[in-house]
Amino acid sequence: MNDINDKFIIKEDSKFKLKDHSPSFIDGFKNEDDAKEVMLDDIKKLIKLQEKLFANNQYSVLIILQAMDAAGKDGVIKHVMSGLNPQGCSVKSFKHPTDEDYEHDFFWRFNKALPESGKIGIFNRSYYENVLICRVHPEFILDEKLPKYDDVKKLDDDFWQHRFKQINRFEKNLVQNGTIILKFFLHLSKEEQRKRLLDRIDQTEKNWKFSFADINERKYWDEYQTCYEEAIKATSTEEAPWFVIPADNKWFSRVTIANILVEQLDALHLKYPELPKAEIQKLQDAKVSLLKED
């Protein structure tokens, strides 16, 4: 999986088209077993990198997962992050905003969940829902009680372009203050989603995952694809890039995201803190004391 950035990263100001990215791409792997060794190796590397991130305590990492329903976001969190130290990692899933959320700007509830220095935060859906589901269903924006926007007809293209700029400013501020932002769109085909939804119906142990809302949202599939394409194109920046991950094969999504995380964290050249000479001498004195004990 060499040059993985060039395959999946969306460059700033690129002529990005979602149709140019195949949801079934598997990058030369034959099957899941073929990718298993790469995955396990990257998880081991990720564990070490997380430890250095925590010890270094200068950067934080924000991982954003966005996708259509049944694309495998939960599976990515479960499998890719399986070896991480829970003390240095947090996962937040965002549902429909509460009344309290609507009393603040749309970043407010996400600000509260941002990772601390030295830690990794994972957003299962994020503030991008505000330019995705809210764009497909613009009536949700009215709940924000914005000045001058009391009718969905007023939510024109300028409004959404302004929202993209707000997101870019928000993310640039985070990056400038030490947050590494990695955004993943799990690119699922409509047919594969249909299969997975049927699977949730047919397998009793997966019935709890099924939501009738998912069936309704499939009616807006094309609208969602357009919204994702425009949002990714407008907000994939040098500071906070988007990665479009083929998601028709769950195992490939996982091995690819694990590989990207290792590559991105490794690029930080993290090191364990070096103690001052005086502290090192105290350690040696402590060692001598411990060795003298009966």
Tokens representing 249? 């094969």
pLDDT, one tens digit per residue, over 106-126 is: 999 999 999 999 999 999 999
Which stretches of the chain are assigned E, i.e. beta strand?
9-10, 60-67, 89-93, 120-124, 179-187, 242-246
The confidence score (pLDDT) of residue 3 equals 55
| Range in 72-76, 206-210, 224-228 with the lowest mean pLDDT | 206-210
pLDDT, one tens digit per residue, over 115-155 is: 999 999 999 999 999 999 999 999 999 999 999 999 999 99
- The span from the first CA to the last CA of the chain, in angstroms, equals 54
pLDDT at 2 over 80: no
254: DSSP letter: H
3-state secondary structure of 59: coil
- pTM, 2 dp: 0.93
The confidence score (pLDDT) of residue 202 equals 93
pLDDT at 166 over 70: yes
Q: Which pLDDT band, with edges at 50, 70 and 90, does 1 fall under?
A: very low
Domain boundaries, the chain: 4-292
pLDDT, one tens digit per residue, over 59-80 is: 999 999 999 999 999 999 999 9
Is CATH 1.10.1660.10 what the domain over 4-292 is classified as, yes or no?
A: no
The confidence score (pLDDT) of residue 4 equals 58
3-state secondary structure of 127: helix
Q: How far apart are CA 24 and CA 188, in angstroms?
A: 8
